[in-house]
A = this chain, B = another copy of it.
Amino acid sequence: MNSIDVKSIDDKVSKFIEERDWDQFHSIKNLVMALSVEASELVEIFQWSSEEVSNQVNDDEKLKQKVSEEIADIFIYLMRIAKKSGIDIEKSCLDKVEANSQKYPVSKSKGSSKKYTEL
């Protein structure tokens, strides 16, 4: 997975939505709700699992399929929110890693899971 061809996904998703006349429901407010619901469906898969078992997704085809579907739902909503907001996901990520490098200096955060507000 070196890159994601967003255009080809967006073409298919846009056609799907247009055929069903669903854009009328897709305010950004509603799309972020839907994204959070999908994120929770991913959480639900692992809520009673140990951390060890959660790390074995790649060895369990049925589990991997479920995770793959939730990842798709999350990415599709994320892509639509970004598009409607005029946001470039790649640029956002590169900027965020840069910002986090400032918020979490190696000297203070190495080996610690504390939030930057508690460092």
Contact = CB atoms under 8 A, between A and B. Distances in A.
Each complex incorporates copies of this chain amounting to: 4
Interface in A8-59: 8-9, 12-13, 16, 19-22, 24-25, 27-30, 32-37, 39-52, 54-55, 57-58
Q: Interface residues of A: mostly helix, strand, loop or mixed?
A: helix
Nearest to A76: B93
A84 B71 contact: no
B54 A28 contact: yes
A106 B18 CA distance: 10
A72 B19 CA distance: 30
Interface of A: 1-9, 12-13, 16, 19-22, 24-25, 27-30, 32-37, 39-52, 54-55, 57-58, 64, 67-69, 71-76, 78, 81-90, 92-97, 99-101, 104, 106, 109-111, 113
